[in-house]
Amino acid sequence: MFPRRIIYAAFAISAAASFLLCGYEFIRAVSTSLFINAYGADNLTRVWIAVPPSVILMIYIYGRLLSRFGASRALSISSVLSALLLLVCYYALLSGIDFASAIIYVFREAYIVIIIEQFWSFVNSTLTTKQAKTINGPFCAIASFGSYAGGKLVNRWAETLGTETLLLFTAGSLIPVAIFGIMAYRFAGEPKPSVDEEGGRHGHLGLKTFLSSKYLILLGVLILTTQVISTVLDLRFNKLVEKNILDTDAMTAYYGNFYANLGLIAAILQLAAVPLVLRLFSIRLVHICIPIVHFINGFVLTLIPSLKTGARAFLTFKALDYSFFRAAKELFYMPLTYDERYRAKQIVDSFGYRFGKGGSASVIELIRSGLALIRGIAITIPGAALSITAIIASCIWSGVVLNITTHYQKIMKTEKNVDNDDSIR
């Protein structure tokens, strides 16, 4: 079922993902605490607005690298360039430039999705659907153990080494990311575009490919909906943290422990539950159950607002996003073309994830600014409004995923019929 080269490639790309997420835990905790300390949690919406255009710029750069150098070199070059930018920001922080914390926050939101989606493009281009149902969960689990280790190290070292110093660990982690990524492509071979897709003939960004497919557009809508929930739960959680934890290094340590626990829970789900669930239940059922869980958590958070319920709702969202949702969602891409898997996927997932967050933040900021203008004083969005938004978005999510899974079933049926016709010939 699994050729040896596929097993080696799977371990190599899993190791790359593990180092990536380990390093990400450092920058996630560091950037959040530094930004909140400099500008306050209420201003997180403002920095989120800057994320979508930054992601588009980085996707375009990635697209040019992909067209010129191919998938494996694009991965290694984008990893090394990310490390260099983080080093520049680190020295800017040491020079007392507070704005560097905003740059780091925006960059952290961009680089992680673009690199991780390159991993998934590789997986979706290398495995069969049957193989993916078995491998996707363990692949995510190995990556999550890196996340767990990174979070625990942040929790242990934040108050000893200082918040800014931890940024160096993120930069350093990107080197093994590049190395293991190259190894994975060496083992499995590099997927090649069709003659019609070579050199980015349909556009380096992948926007044309995305807009020409109703299926991909539906996937984009799904991602936007999920990220509305992510944004409001993230903002609610951070506001509760700011209210309860005042010291910067203590806040960094709390975030480190929180995300370590998230990584561990996600890893357990990915390793023990995801492969079993994907084999036993339909993709449609798996996708429908996820927003139901978020609906319940949003309802509880609305009735009982506290750091505990806020942390639980956000952790549950992220854990399911990293495990069941991610593993099941990637199956949607497997029957698609090279440009759809390597270019349009970045539009759907990298930009979609961050546009959903940035767009939601823009709406929140417009409401807050409008109320402030009318009342003449600074306004804070009520916490209940955020959790209620999560409830509403969960309902929309359920409707969208029903539509997408219908399209997916039609694509798979068509593909199966084509394969049967070929075998007859």
- CA-closest candidate to residue 403, choices 225, 249, 281, 149: 225
> In 3-state terms, what secondary structure has residue 206?
coil
Report the distance separating Cα 26 and Cα 110, nearest Å: 15
Sign of CA dihedral 71, 76, 81, 83: positive
Give the residue-averaged pLDDT of 282-306.
Answer: 93
The whole-angstrom distance between residue 102's C-alpha and the CA centroid of its chain comes to 19
- Residue 222's pLDDT band, with cuts at 50, 70 and 90, is very high
Structure tokens at 159: 């108050």
Question: What is the per-residue pLDDT for 423?
Answer: 41
Question: What is the per-residue pLDDT for 332?
Answer: 92
Q: Which residues contact 154 (CB under 8 A, 6 or more apart)?
A: 25, 26, 29, 30, 166, 252, 253, 255, 256, 257, 259, 260
Q: State percent of the chain over pLDDT 70.
A: 95
Q: Are 352 and 220 in contact (CB under 8 A)?
A: yes
Q: pLDDT averaged over the chain?
A: 88
Q: What is the pLDDT of residues 359-382, one digit of tens each?
A: 777 777 777 777 667 766 555 667
Question: What is the per-residue pLDDT for 378?
Answer: 55
> In 3-state terms, what secondary structure has residue 337?
coil
SS (H, E, C) 82-96: HHHHHHHHHHHHHCC
Give the residue-averaged pLDDT of 240-267.
Answer: 84
* Host domain of residue 123: 4-424
- How many structural domains does the chain have? 1
> In 3-state terms, what secondary structure has residue 175?
helix
Q: Are 5 and 187 in contact (CB under 8 A)?
A: yes
Query: Which H or E element spans position 404?
Result: helix 383-424
Judged by average pLDDT, the poorest of 13-27, 186-200, 377-391 is 377-391
Please say if the pLDDT value at position 45 is more than 90.
no
Q: What is the pLDDT of residues 65-86, one digit of tens each?
A: 999 999 999 999 999 999 999 9
Structure tokens at 383: 């916490």
Give the residue-averaged pLDDT of 48-63.
Answer: 91
- Residue 46's pLDDT band, with cuts at 50, 70 and 90, is confident
Query: Which H or E element spans position 367?
Result: helix 352-375
Give the residue-averaged pLDDT of 228-249.
Answer: 87
Backbone angles phi, psi at 245, to 5 degrees: -125, 115
Structure tokens at 306: 């506290």
Question: Which CATH number characterizes residue 280's domain?
Answer: 1.20.1250.20
pTM of this prediction exceeds 0.85? no
